[in-house]
Amino acid sequence: WAVKFSSGLATKGAYLHPTQLYESFGTLCIFFCLVAIRSRKRYDGQVLVWYLLLYPIERFTVELLRGDKIRGYLFSLNLTDLIPGNELLTTSQTVSFGLFVIGVSSMAWLNYQDRKTHPA
């Protein structure tokens, strides 16, 4: 299950996962999830928070399958025994992790505010 790319400096002639298709399909799934959440939302900002939770998971996963190491890594450590290739996280994975943390924090804050405003 791979696509042979005939252009690109680092990927010419290489068989790689079609991550563009994975990204498109994942984003489409997120869209339908957000539409469903929007119809049942309890407070303002809930749809945005769910996007901040879902998209980073999808992006982080797709980044695991990309084969273009030329894009670089934000953190590079000499851990040859633990991680093949000495890489730790790509820039996109690091940003995704940060967005996910923001999403979790925002969800906790908005849920707290909602409970304060509308006690059970």
Q: What does DSSP say about strands 73-76 and 87-90: parallel, antiparallel, or unpaired?
A: antiparallel
Q: How much is the pTM?
A: 0.76
**pLDDT (tens digit per residue) in 58-101:** 999 998 888 766 666 665 555 445 555 556 778 888 899 999 99
Percent with pLDDT over 70 in the chain? 72
**pLDDT (tens digit per residue) in 23-36:** 999 999 999 999 99
pLDDT at 99: 96
Confidence of residue 41 (pLDDT cuts 50, 70, 90): very high
pLDDT at 29: 98
Q: Which residue is it, tokens 């797709």?
A: 62
pLDDT at 73: 65
Confidence of residue 54 (pLDDT cuts 50, 70, 90): very high
